[in-house]
Amino acid sequence: MDKAKIKKVENYLFWHCKRRYDAGSIMSNIIGVIINLKPSCSCILNERNVRKFNIVRFTKLLEKLDLKVISKRTLSSNEYDLNFYISKSLKKAMRLKELFEVLNNYNFGDDERKDIHSEIGELLGYPKTAVNYFVRNVERGSLSESHKQRVKKYFYYAHSEAYQNKEFKEYDERLNRALDKYSVRSAKALRKKYPQKRWLD
């Protein structure tokens, strides 16, 4: 793994993102793809939170890591968002983009929405138990008090109650250790912003 190339991506994000934790959050997604934890990832930056962000330059830095990138600038609430879909597989990056666009622009029945969320969760590399929990509860707005406590505890996604520790070991801890190894600046920015989260055991 080319740490120098990863460092260039991290430096670019920390220079152009006004909020350090935005840069750290995006790097966590990218690292997840690099270490094969995530088949793909979706990253969004609002233009008001960046300075002189060059989509072409950023894409080229990612491509030097053998990543495939699909970018799109979209208008949201009178502000522009920069959307990036990243994977080692162009097909998976395209599919993730397609699923998010379909989900955000069309109305579906419950079964269709479940299928879309399930596929998105799989493409994002989240543990299957967590994806199933999200589809059954969170997406439908069925939120218990214990769910709210887990949201305070964990960072990357909605953990299930029964399998939260297994999910943490399977996904969160692996990603956090990779951040410590390949993107220290990002790890520090995230932990400083969210000190109450469970990062490593």
Which positions ≥6 away from 101 have C-beta within 8 Å? Answer: none
Confidence of residue 146 (pLDDT cuts 50, 70, 90): confident
Hey, what amino acid is at 201? D
List Cα–Cα distances, 150 to 9, 114, 156, in angstroms: 31, 22, 11
Confidence of residue 122 (pLDDT cuts 50, 70, 90): very high
pLDDT at position 158 is: 87
What average pLDDT score do residues 87-102 get? Answer: 95
pLDDT at position 124 is: 97
pLDDT at position 138 is: 58
Q: Is the pLDDT at 140 greater than 70, yes or no?
A: no
pTM over 0.75: yes
pLDDT at position 94 is: 97
φ, ψ (nearest 5 deg) of residue 94: -65, -40
pLDDT at position 141 is: 61
pLDDT at position 113 is: 82
Classify residue 134 by burial, with Cβ atoms within 10 Å: 0-12, 13-18, 19+: buried
